[in-house]
Amino acid sequence: MRWILTLGCVAIAGMWDSASETAAAAGPDLCSVLAEELDYSIDQLVLPDGTRPYYLAYTVTDREMLSIRAALGALEEDDATQKRWLDVDVRVGDYAVDNTHKLRGGGGFDPAEFMAMFAGATELSLDDDPDAIRQSLWLATDKAFKAAARKYQRVLTDLKTKVEEEDKSGDFTRESPSVYSEPAVSLQLDRAAWADTLREVSQLAREYPLIYSSSVSLTAGAQNRSMVTSEGTRLQTGRKLFRVFVTAGTKAEDGMELSQTYIFNAAREDGLPTAEQIAEALRKVINQVLALRDAPLVEPYTGPAILMNRASGVFFHEIFGHRIEGHRQKDVEEGQTFAKKIGELVLPEFMSVRDDPTLARFGDEDLRGFYRFDDEGVPARNATLVERGVLQGFLLSRSPLEGFPQSTGHGRREPGRAVVARQGNLIVESSETVSFPRLRELLIEECRTQDKPYGLLFEDITGGFTGTRRRGTQTFKVLPVVVYRVYADGRPDELVRGVDIVGTPLTCFSKIIYAGDDPAVFNGTCGAESGNVPVSAISPSILVSQVEVEKRRREQDKPPILPPPIAQPSVVAP
């Protein structure tokens, strides 16, 4: 599970305002074709032994993508594309036991299950040509149904030959069908103007010869989804996501690669930053990288630390959020950290955690984890996970757990993957807070109590990853990029580099002693079994009595031998 900062894209020229006109105008026709073909398939699909699907769903995802990137005043990328993807979900058996049931044994790895998880979506025509669409639906449905029938027979054998399962819940929840339609969306950007803006801003890096790499980029996406199911769900939804990336990197004299990124997130064109704001962010990133280049390396350390709000958000996403996803509580190959802890104290009594994908904004910021319906057609809803320190529930797709028979609307995936429970907008809240200046004072007091010369302040974290499988270490690592030593004797804070935060979740949660009054947003993209999905985390700053850091990997190559060309006057041939 990892936070990812980029979106891939690719190109059409001119004002980006017409690529979706066909899809937008013909959306209802597409839904009608999907519904007609689905009704035919659910009625007629049957094997000679009488096996037939009890559930069938078609999801078409229409994506427009635009990507523009410039460096040192020159355009490096200017691409756009539009594609449609079809996902076919077939279930054989019944709501209690079907083909999605987890197979046990074999070290937790099942080739057929792995192939189903990463089966990939079918590329669909962009034109709403009924015959072309029906042909794709026919072939994809036949393939998915046959694979589901084969898997179902293996499931039945597995249940007869393996020990009794601990979790007796079924394989699929019964949910009321959802019917909802909203207008199709399309990108409305002046592509040429944005290319000029990124060229102009990116050339600021020419003033800094010690910055070896830099770029300024825009990625924009408009996604329209059409979904129909045999239960009666009929959905048509659309959303846009925009990101402006500002990056700079260098190499320290000891070989360590150093980089910084600042990202503007928006859900509408009018939420994008101005050229002045992007330029200000680039200068800030460059100055931070240059400061890190001269910062001392930190040795392995255990002691008190503050994780500032955005860093704390990543911390909770990686360490808590992934372990609270429902499918991990049923899988015997998972660590199941919280599976048996409902009603128990798992966080300090002043802390609560929920996940609310229905929240589109927090303060002035758009949230990437917002959605109205999940990828199984279930309405998104606020899921209470921890209340005053006590574990209350899990994030659930339509795969139920004992005591939790309904989805919380958190079944998510990228096209081509199998749905599992995933985070949306993870929100950490505290009933007892202190101001950030007071939190810093408490850090110093804790250093003196533990007889530590300094504590650490993690201002920014770029991402992280966590192991949840039993065969692994079930530890976590988060990757801070801006870290300060806060000295107990009153010396000025000192910027340092070269450390990662490591540990185990239950130990770390028990060390949280104070929370700030400064909640802030980290927007990112999370990668897990069901692919890359946009997510957000909102958290206040937290003070922990003990954190462990270890040395980060360091490259051994020296910086470039010759000075960079931007540091030399241009030579013009006579």
Least confident of 196-205, 316-325, 405-414, 555-564: 555-564
**Closest C-alpha to 222, from 187, 188, 191, 190:** 187
- Give the pLDDT band of residue 165 (cuts 50, 70, 90): confident
Distances (CA, A) of 154 to 151, 159, 200, 532: 5, 9, 60, 29
Give tens-digit pLDDT for 303-331. Answer: 999 999 999 999 899 889 998 998 888 87
The Cα 83–Cα 416 span in angstroms is 13
Q: Say if residue 119's pLDDT is above 90.
A: no
**What's the mean per-residue pLDDT of the chain?**
87
Query: Could you give the domains of the chain?
Result: 2-294 (3.30.2290.10), 301-551 (no CATH)
Give tens-digit pLDDT for 193-239. Answer: 999 999 999 999 999 999 999 999 999 999 999 999 999 999 999 99
pLDDT at 11: 26
Mean per-residue pLDDT, 470-498: 80
Q: Say if residue 333's pLDDT is above 90.
A: no
Q: Say if residue 59's pLDDT is above 60.
A: yes
Distances (CA, A) of 349 to 225, 345, 389, 390, 513: 41, 8, 4, 7, 10
β-pairing, 512-515 with 542-551? antiparallel
- Give the pLDDT band of residue 53 (cuts 50, 70, 90): very high
- Give the pLDDT band of residue 470 (cuts 50, 70, 90): very low
Q: Say if residue 181's pLDDT is above 80.
A: yes
Least confident of 148-162, 260-274, 458-472, 535-549: 458-472
Q: Say if residue 479's pLDDT is above 80.
A: no
- Give the pLDDT band of residue 1 (cuts 50, 70, 90): very low
pLDDT at 556: 64
Locate all alpha helices (DSSP H) within 83-167, ordered by sequence.
111-117, 130-161
pLDDT at 219: 98
Mean per-residue pLDDT, 238-246: 98
Which is more confident, 104 or 457?
A: 457
Q: Say if residue 515's pLDDT is above 60.
A: yes
- Tokens at residue 484, please? 């300060």
The Cα 206–Cα 212 span in angstroms is 10
